[in-house]
Amino acid sequence: MTSKGLVAHPPTGILRWFLRFPIVMYRLGLGGLLGGRFMLIHHIGRKSGQMREVVVEVVSHDKARDIYYVASGWGYSAQWYRNLVATSEVDIEVGWCKLHVRAESISPTDGAEILNQYHQQHPFTANQLSQIMGVDIRHASVDEMVEIVRNSLPIVAFHPI
């Protein structure tokens, strides 16, 4: 996991509040209502050493191996992503399930395949997120998708420990 260019600027104002609202749901014990599409990551700040939380969308779930995949929508510079680079063992919550996991970036080729599957399964959401993030995964060829993951949109796998 390395530091690279930012996809888009992280949200501010009302959009930031809206995107952080699911954290409140998890804190109230209602995270399960979000189903398997969202994940709360409990991670440690790489500079502060304090516990941090972020909710991200699950891009894919390999049910056979219980591996969850997420995209760092704000790129390699996202704070939660950089914290995982520093400390890869974290706790996650998905739906009503809590797991202790190890996070790792996957290869751009594998990441591109996962993003293509995500776009096929959730075309409307993928289109909306492409606009927010400033990266067009809607019309990207396989080679372009590999470059998007390599340069801007890391995919992280969460393996149960």
* Confidence band for 136, pLDDT divided at 50, 70 and 90: confident
Q: What share of the chain is helix, strand, coil (3-state, %, to 5)?
A: 40, 30, 30
CA dist 51 and 60 (Å) reads: 25
Query: What pLDDT does residue 16 have?
Result: 66
pLDDT digits (tens, 9 = 90+) for 116-131: 999 999 999 888 888 8
All domains in the chain, ordered by first residue: 13-160 (2.30.110.10)
pLDDT level of residue 137 (50, 70, 90 thresholds) = confident
DSSP state of 77: G
Whole-structure pTM value: 0.86
- Is the pLDDT confidence value at 30 over 70? yes
User: Who's near 149: CB < 8 A, 6+ residues apart?
Assistant: 108, 111, 112, 115, 155
- The pLDDT score that the predictor gives to residue 6 is 39
HSE-CB at 45 with a 13 A cutoff on CA atoms is: 7
